[in-house]
Amino acid sequence: AAPRPAHGCGSGALLGRFGVLLQALLALCAFSTLMLKRFKEPKAERRPWRIWFYDTSKQAIGALFIHFANVFLSDLTEEDPCSLYLINFILDATLGMLLIWLGVKVVSWIVQHKKYTYLVFGEYGDPPQAAAWIGQCILYLLIMVFEKTVISLVLLIPGWTKLQQILLGYIPSPQLELVLVMFVVPFIVNAIMFWVVDSLIMRKYKQKDTLDINGSTETPRARRTEESQVLLSPDMDFDQSESDQDISGLRGTNQKVKQPSYQVVI
């Protein structure tokens, strides 16, 4: 086997003690952005904790699959595993993000066309069903498998070795390279990716319908439209006699009010 470059990571560095510590810290910091996103949502649209867990756990499963796939692929060759991991990660964050968006759109269209209600991303029923969450996790994991397969095929294109030398060839310390590859860059990119993907797969806020006395569903907009039509209707039926009596009654009351009288006492 050809020797590793002196400046690069050694074999197994990604799964060493220091590498695993960085990965655990990365997971904690990256998923904290999803919690921050929940508190940034308006109170009227904020998801309950159970729904939030169902939404974000799909991303957690997908991110873990992508991460360990990158670690496995990066250690297959005699090239610098840190550089290969970074290239995989950059492709996942660019081309992979487009593939994830396309996969979510296609899967959502199929399940809506087939009327599989519980497989629509973000829809878990009322009350939320764990079976719906499991089905959506499987669908999302299939999208991740599709995305990683395409990225792996792209990596077979020759010319990536030169990019590896450009990206991290100037860093002399293997530990500093590991920190950049396994924590700094992934934290920034993952925070953006998690925020965007969570917006894609969460249930879109819908204005709650109101239920009238007869049990029919009526939206506030329809109710306001109906009220405006009634107010603007030209054939409003009023009893003129009753209104005249009310007016005359008011006049009589005013006339019955006694004016104060004054007497001069000498």
Per-residue pLDDT of the chain (266 residues; tens, 9 = 90+): 444 444 557 667 777 788 888 888 888 887 888 888 888 888 887 888 888 888 888 888 888 898 888 888 887 777 778 888 888 888 988 899 899 999 999 998 999 888 888 888 888 888 888 898 999 999 999 999 999 999 999 988 877 767 766 777 677 777 888 888 888 888 888 888 888 888 877 775 443 443 333 444 444 444 444 444 544 444 444 445 454 555 455 455 455 444 555 554 44
Q: Could you give the angle at the alpha carbon of 75 between the alpha carbons of 74 and 80, nearest 5°?
A: 70
Structure-token pair, residue 214:
């007869």
- Distance separating alpha carbons of residues 143 and 55, to the nearest angstrom: 15
- Distance separating alpha carbons of residues 175 and 191, to the nearest angstrom: 23
The DSSP 8-state label assigned to residue 61 in this structure reads H
Q: How many beta carbons lie within 10 A of that of residue 135, not counting itself?
A: 17
- Distance separating alpha carbons of residues 260 and 10, to the nearest angstrom: 108
Dihedral angle computed from the Cα positions of residues 78, 79, 83 and 88, in that order, rounded to the nearest 10 degrees: -70
pTM (predicted TM-score): 0.66
Reading phi first (left if > 0) and then psi (alpha if -120 to 50, else beta), residue 125 is in left
Residue among 38, 36, 150, 40 at smallest CA distance from 103: 150
Structure-token pair, residue 85:
């991991």
Dihedral angle computed from the Cα positions of residues 216, 220, 225 and 227, in that order, rounded to the nearest 10 degrees: 80
Domain ranges of the chain: 13-202
Structure-token pair, residue 28:
């904690």
Which residues sit opposite 210 in a β-bridge?
A: 218
Amino acid occupying residue 29: C
List the end-to-end C-alpha distance of the chain, in Å, as a whole number: 135
Residues in the chain: 266
